Each structure stands twice: as structure tokens, then as C-alpha cells.
A and B are shown apart, each in its own frame.
Chain A
């Protein structure tokens, strides 16, 4: 079997790509997709560690993360649509004030 280190390195790379994308992009939809990428990379670590420790808990946590990601995407996209209808923009910099 493949040892755990390469999986951890792939996960670290994917997380870094997601974080840099989240910081660099201004489109809220792309920022949400970058969050998905970071959650997925965390899942890889959970599954790999679960295998290394011969425990089913890693995969169970990964299931929870997928369910949380589904809820987060639903609410996040509803907010994006709501903001778009008010501001006619998906630019994260367009929403800078609380009153609106």
C-alpha cells in the first residue's frame, strides 16, 4: 500500500491552492469554490490518517465534512444570489457596508 506521506503532501498543495485562490480572487462564486477545495483537501487528511490508524473514524468525519459542505454551499449560494439582486454584482469588494 502507498504510505501516507504523498497523500498528505497532495492535501497540503490543494489546501494552499484553495487558500491563495480565496485571497486573490474577487468573484464570490470562485471564493466559495476555493472553500470547497480546502474542505476536500482536509477530507484527504482525515481519510489518510484513518487508514494509518486502522480506524473507521477518519471516513466518518469525512462524511460529516461533506454534509457540512453541502449545507454551506446551499446557504452561501442563496446569499450570493440575494446580494446579486441588491447590488447587481458578485464582486466581494462591492459589499463593504453593513446597512443595505
Chain B
């Protein structure tokens, strides 16, 4: 396995390893906590660790967006809703009853084996495995690719999607208020 040798000689390997372990531990803790608030806080830790992974991949802009949007805005929204709904409520039991509780982890194990085998055999990422340095795109290149060229239409469509989602949320909240009025 030549990529293992390339790993240990890279200066970014130590932070990458620490961030990976933190992300995976945070994910496992998120799934196994019965208390939803604790689970959400473990997920925040995982998302920050993934931001560190982005930084070791030389994706600086994405690392910052990950912290601000994902670990910041989205998780704050989650915590607000959890506080709104879960206050004084007994947390649900862990796991599914019956055969589903056994089948899901078994299926997950099968998926993990398939994914690991495809990583080991695929040639798509061989480019960087030989230790040669590929120039990672700079933040200004990412901005150029986003707002000019072939992705400009997709950016506009995403903004339309965000507006549609916002209108949908407003309609759902209005329906709640109308129901409560009766």
C-alpha cells in the first residue's frame, strides 16, 4: 500500500488524523446518545472536525463556510427546535424493536465493506497517491468557478430554491397559527 507511506511523510497527516478520529467519535456519540441535545452538541463537534479536514485539504474557504453555516447557523436552528419541542419530554428509547434493530447495523457493515473496497480499487484518486503535489484550487478560483462560467445558472437556481424553502416554512408556520386560533 504505497499511500500509507505517502501519509506518514505528509506534514498535514497529524492534524488530519486527529480531526478524523474526533469526527468519527463525535458521529458515533451523536447516534448513541439518548438525549437529543447531547447528540446535537456531538454533531457540532463532528462538523467542526470536518472543517479541519477541509483545511488540511487546502479548501480554506469551504472550511470557514462549514464552521459558519453548518456548525453555526444550521446547528443553532436544530438546537432551537430541540429546545422548543423536547423541553420536559422523556427521550425516546434507543434503537428499533425486533429484527430492524439488527438488520440496520448489519446492512451498514455491508455498505462500509463495499465502500472501502471501492476506495481501495478505484483509480480516480491515484493522481495524488504518488506523492506528487497537485495544485489545490485557491479560494479566488473557487469564487470564479461559482459566479462565472458554467456554474452561474446553478447558483441562481440555488437562490430560487432557498426562496422556495423560506416560503414553504412560512406557509407551514402560518398553518400552525391558524389551527391554534380555532
- Show the binding face of A for B, using Cβ within 8 Å: 1-10, 12-21, 23-27, 29-30, 32-34, 36-37, 40, 43-44, 47-57, 59-60, 62-64, 66-75, 77-82, 84-85, 90-91
A15 to chain B: closest residue by CB: B115
Q: Quote the shortest CB–CB distance from B166 to chain A (angstroms).
A: 7
Residues of chain B contacted by A68 (CB below 8 angstroms): 158, 161
Restricting to B102-149, which residues have a CB under 8 Å from any CB of A?
103-105, 107-109, 111-112, 115-116, 119-120, 124-125, 127-129, 131, 133-137, 141-142, 144-146
A9 and B116 contact, CB distance less than 8 A: yes
How long is the Cα–Cα vector from A37 to B103 in the complex, in angstroms?
A: 20
Residues of chain A contacted by B108 (CB below 8 angstroms): 16-17, 19-20, 23
B146 and A63 contact, CB distance less than 8 A: yes
B31 and A70 contact, CB distance less than 8 A: no
Interface SS of chain A: helix
Given A2-B56, A63-B62, A82-B175, A70:B36 Cβ within 8 A? no
- Show the binding face of B for A, using Cβ within 8 Å: 3, 6-7, 10, 12-13, 16-17, 20, 23-24, 27-28, 30-31, 36, 39-40, 43, 46-47, 50, 53-54, 56-59, 61-62, 65-66, 69-70, 73-74, 77-78, 81-82, 84-86, 91-96, 100-101, 103-105, 107-109, 111-112, 115-116, 119-120, 124-125, 127-129, 131, 133-137, 141-142, 144-146, 151, 154, 158, 161-162, 164-166, 168-169, 172-173, 175-176, 179-180
Residues of chain A contacted by B93 (CB below 8 angstroms): 26
Given A24-B101, A50-B137, A73:B78 Cβ within 8 A? yes
How long is the Cα–Cα vector from A70 to B39 in the complex, in angstroms?
A: 19
Given A1-B12, A56-B137, A47:B62 Cβ within 8 A? yes
A12 and B112 contact, CB distance less than 8 A: yes
How long is the Cα–Cα vector from A21 to B31 in the complex, in angstroms?
A: 5
B169 and A3 contact, CB distance less than 8 A: no
A66 and B57 contact, CB distance less than 8 A: no
